[in-house]
Amino acid sequence: MNSSENGSVFMNIQGFDCVGFDLDHTLCKYKLDNFFSLVYDYFAKTLVENKGYDKRILQPLKTHKDFCVKGLVWDIRHGDFLKLSDAGVILRASHGSRLLSYAEIQQKYGAERLWQHFHCLEETLEQCELYRYYENYFDMPSMVVGAQLVDLEEEKPGGWSASWERVTNDMLQEFRKLFSSHLYQEKLPAILTDCTKHPTQYVERCSPHLKEWLKGLRGERKVVFLLTSSQSDFASDLTEYILGADWKDYFDINLHYARKPGFFKIKDPSERPFFKFDDVEKTEEVTELETGQCYIEGNAKKFNEYLQKVTGKQQPKVLYFGDSMRSDIHPCSTHGKWQTVFVLEEMEVEELVPNETSVGMATDQSDGRNTRTGPSKLEREFLLSNQWGSFFTDELHVPINSKHTEEDSVDSTSSVTKPCSNPSSVDSANPTVLNTFWTGLMKKHATIAVPRIDYMSDFPTDYNFETFKSSDWRKGYHPGKPKNTAP
Ligand SMILES: [Mg+2]
């Protein structure tokens, strides 16, 4: 990356030796309105049929669309869903699907409203038995089911505190089966089969302009690779659908079923070697990777040896595109030295404000390229939420005088000025805007962010992208900032 005197730090794709892509929700844009409903319906049905849960969860996802949002943390024992700031303050919370008041949050989590597991979560981004977080479009619909199960359990004697362990185990077990990433079963799980049988309903083809841009990368002699955790047969079908029958020509090498983030974390390459795959099962273990091939499993250490070999460089510069903070962006930043482009659809649904140099905002050019329709109405409704507010920021309304009402604070002895989640009781003219947990992670770990990968093809190949490492980090958003941003 290059720095300038005014604190701006730039990256230019021409400066990279290798460019890699995640598949799901990155190179392959899903039609989230249909896809979310598909996941939700299967999940609710399987819990009712296999585990005997209340049929009321079978109502369509549309009924709960305002609860559905990316980035919440489920504090499992409490049965609470939390929206966190980048410092671990609980910005908003619900018990099951019921929004909690400011006082209720303080009663449960203390006057400062700091969530006790925040630092562990921020550092490791691991899921555990105490909490689960929802940061990708595969499991977001399951969160909505979880909230309803908390509500329904609370109607029974003993409530959620008597049943949380059983319910969350059932959920985890059934959800895993839905997407079972177990490679060696005879057929794909039903959700994935539906996607590959009816792709027009669930995914979008790459535009001719994007395909041209992708081919251009290989034309510039960069090593271009696909690195996905999806099962090999599913990934091949999907890539063929979005790119066409010549999909293999777009990549120097294809890595499927990579089981990220583990792929990046493996210290001893012999722990998880690469294998060949013959359309049904894995065959021989591979000691040396070759261009033009497709492999499964493996690890970043061994893959870096391949990149060194083909680029002839000791430290090839790698740029990787991904949509998952947990599986793509965070491990690239913490376990490797790869730069990353974070694909974040929330940027688009929360309204883009063009950058001053508004390259890439073209929507209706005379040559017919770059015309994009943007998210559908229902997709927008699923990704946006009145209950939870922006994915990027939240407003805290700080009382002007420090006298707390009972509603403001249950701990009136505290001298700390408290933010308030109930704007009606405070001065709404003086809100403090805070970044969310996910914005904090993005600033720290991603290089730039774009709403969808096809925006990349609007920029000239030698474009200097300002990055999140600039003194004004918000310039790392391209082609524009989401409307809700904070310093
Ligand atoms: Mg993905």
Ligand 1 centroid from CA 260, angstroms: 10
Exposure class string for 443-459: b at 16+ Cβ within 10 A, else e = bbbbbbbbbbbbbbbbb
Ligand 1 centroid from CA 226, angstroms: 11
CA–CA separation, 322 and 325 (whole Å): 8
pLDDT in tens, 100-157: 998 999 999 999 999 999 999 999 999 999 999 999 999 999 999 999 999 999 999 9
Residue 374 pLDDT greater than 90, yes or no: no
Ligand 1 centroid from CA 378, angstroms: 21
Task: End-to-end CA distance of the chain: give it in Å, rounded.
Answer: 22
Name the residue with tokens 């990704």: 383
The residues pairing with 395 across neighbouring beta strands, listed in sequence order, are 433
Handedness of CA 247, 248, 254, 259 (dihedral sign): positive
Residue of 145, 24, 65 lying closest to 378 (CA atoms): 65
Domain segments of the chain as ranges: 1-29+203-392+436-487, 32-193
Is residue 243 very low, low, confident or very high in pLDDT (cuts 50, 70, 90)? Answer: very high
Is residue 464 very low, low, confident or very high in pLDDT (cuts 50, 70, 90)? Answer: very high
Is residue 277 very low, low, confident or very high in pLDDT (cuts 50, 70, 90)? Answer: confident
CA–CA separation, 341 and 445 (whole Å): 10
**Residues known to be catalytic:** 22, 24
Is residue 359 very low, low, confident or very high in pLDDT (cuts 50, 70, 90)? Answer: low
Ligand 1 centroid from CA 67, angstroms: 22
State the pLDDT at residue 87.
96
State the pLDDT at residue 176.
87
Residue 358 pLDDT greater than 90, yes or no: no
State the pLDDT at residue 134.
97
The CATH superfamily assigned to 1-29+203-392+436-487 is HAD superfamily/HAD-like (3.40.50.1000)
Ligand 1 centroid from CA 220, angstroms: 25
Residue 182 burial (CB < 10 Å; 0-12/13-18/19+)? exposed
Is residue 354 very low, low, confident or very high in pLDDT (cuts 50, 70, 90)? Answer: confident
State the pLDDT at residue 189.
78
Residue of 191, 174, 188 lying closest to 38 (CA atoms): 191
CA–CA separation, 278 and 260 (whole Å): 22
CA–CA separation, 453 and 23 (whole Å): 11
Of the given ranges (171-175, 176-180, 316-320, 435-439), which has the lowest mean pLDDT? 176-180
